[in-house]
Amino acid sequence: MESIVTDRGADADTQLPVNLLRRFDVPGPRYTSYPTADRFVEAFGEADYLQALQQRAQGATVGGRKPLSVYVHIPFCESVCYYCACNKVITKHHERGAEYIEALESEIELHRQALDEHPLVSQLHFGGGSPTFLSDEELRRVMASLGAAFRLAPGAEVSIEVDPRTANVERLAALRSMGFNRISFGVQDLDPDVQKAVHRVQSFESIQTLMVEARALGFESINVDLIYGLPLQTPEGFAKTIARIGDLRPDRIALYAYAHLPSRFKPQRRIDAGQLPPPENRVAMLQGAISGFLAQGYVYIGMDHFALPEDSLAAAKRQGRLHRNFQGYSTHADCDLIGLGVSSIGRMGATYSQNAKTLPEYYDAVRQGRFPVVRGLALTRDDLLRRAVIMALMCQGRLEYESVELAHLIKVPEYFKSELAQLTPFIEMGLVLMEPGAVQITAQGWFFVRAIAMLFDKHLQADRVREKFSRII
């Protein structure tokens, strides 16, 4: 059976069969939340969100007051990347940033008034779009507004996503002076033909220069995003990208599978579907990336994330301290999350919320002194229970019955009788071990953790509509 060696740190003899990669090349949620964002409802609105904020301020959230994370969405990009599924606004008019910053300041002030405590923030993340669409002065203004409402905890992670085409060494120095200590570069692929096909042309040399400078400036962690399954990609060509990225030694690598959903994301309609790699090539690219990064000394964190052994994310995996939120795997404990800006998603206590997805709606709400929340979800007892189970599998690779039973006052074998029975094929494939009082995902099974977690997703099992999700492989 054709296979590759996987996580040497876990098991030197672990093999990843190609037939399993092919079998699980199906759509599925990434479980940055449970229930997933497609389950949010418009019946949940501003009043519900305000109540959740007030409960936090009073220390009355489920499980007590949790650590706080803040996400700031900057939607603007100068040009469109055809593969992109993010909420963005394509414009070369940088003056539009001023109006957006005013709205952000109003939204931040609404939170300051509701929380009334200058809360401590352990994570602050700027995403987009392209946050570096804003000028240094504009970014400093946003940081000042955040500083007036929140306090950064000692050792807080302060991260920003950077489009290499919109940055230079001077910009990186400015970002570092603002307090950003983690940085993520969107690379996707280094092949010039692939870059042209997706309308994102950037040279290896420019990325290399920025990474060298970021390291010299003392950024604590450098991440690179890559995508496989893009038009004109081949296993041989992508292997070259893997090798060259490995030479740059970023601290973390996020390797995403491209989800071609042109009916949902208009920019993807510019992609020639005939140029997309066939399934066997997608599998070969994933196989080559996994073997390539592991050979370079990276640790497989989970799903599509890799990190150097000395990185805090790798340490968290070794120590069983991984967590998961809307930004992916994290070293920080279960956090409440405030999402700022158009389309941002937040989590507060036992609720999720999402802001208006268009700028006119977002501007209208904050100008009227209202939180721009337009949809969300108040989690049921079953949702909270299943979230605990899915996150245990996604983050620790192990479900301990006793901890879940004590926290939720149920008996796992009884409550999840059907789900546990559905694990049989995974056990037979060597992906799961059933232990007394526990479900253990094997080293090989860790590569297919999404498929295992999906068995415990009540909503997904009920409707089986999965085409709206990215592919597991």
Helix (H, G, I), strand (E, B) or coil at 8: coil
Note whether residue 353 is domain-resident: no
d(CA 83, CA 467): 16
Cβ atoms 323, 30 nearer than 8 A: no
Residue ending a domain, among 278, 305, 338, is: 338
d(CA 410, CA 416): 10
Query: φ and ψ at 326, to 5 degrees?
Result: -65, -15
| Burial grade of 3 (CB within 10 A; 0-12, 13-18, 19 or more) | middle
Radius of gyration (C-alpha) of the chain in whole angstroms: 22
Same-domain pairing of 390 and 325: no
Same-domain pairing of 195 and 259: yes
Same-domain pairing of 94 and 217: yes
Cβ atoms 396, 137 nearer than 8 A: no
Q: Which domain holds residue 11?
A: 3-28+381-463
Note whether residue 349 is domain-resident: no
Same-domain pairing of 304 and 333: yes
Same-domain pairing of 136 and 18: no
Question: How many structural domains is the chain composed of?
Answer: 2
Same-domain pairing of 45 and 143: yes
Note whether residue 331 is domain-resident: yes
d(CA 227, CA 241): 11
Same-domain pairing of 69 and 177: yes
Residue linked to tokens 């950003």: 180
Residue ending a domain, among 338, 359, 392, is: 338
Helix (H, G, I), strand (E, B) or coil at 441: strand
Residue linked to tokens 């009355």: 60
Note whether residue 71 is domain-resident: yes
Same-domain pairing of 16 and 158: no
Q: Provide the CATH number for the domain around residue 7.
A: 1.10.10.920
Residue ending a domain, among 272, 307, 338, is: 338
Same-domain pairing of 209 and 230: yes
Length of the chain: 473
Closest CA to 356 of 68, 87, 98, 69: 87
DSSP labels for 294-327?
HHTT-EEEETTEEE-TTSHHHHHHHTT--EEETT
The whole-number pLDDT of residue 16 equals 63
Question: pLDDT of the chain along its 473 residues, tens only?
Answer: 344 333 433 433 344 677 787 788 777 888 888 999 999 999 999 999 999 999 998 875 444 567 899 999 999 999 999 999 888 999 999 999 999 999 999 999 999 999 978 899 999 999 999 999 999 999 999 999 999 999 999 999 999 999 999 899 999 999 999 999 999 999 999 999 999 999 999 999 999 999 999 999 999 999 999 999 999 999 999 999 999 999 999 999 999 999 898 998 899 999 999 999 998 899 899 889 999 999 999 999 987 899 999 999 999 988 888 888 887 888 877 789 999 999 999 999 999 999 999 999 999 999 999 999 999 999 999 999 999 999 999 989 999 999 999 999 999 999 999 999 999 999 999 999 999 999 999 988 988 898 999 999 999 877 655 555 666 66
Q: Provide the CATH number for the domain around residue 332.
A: 3.80.30.20
Same-domain pairing of 167 and 257: yes
How many other C-beta atoms lie within 10 A of the C-beta of residue 19? 12
Same-domain pairing of 24 and 72: no
Closest CA to 179 of 125, 117, 134: 125
Note whether residue 314 is domain-resident: yes
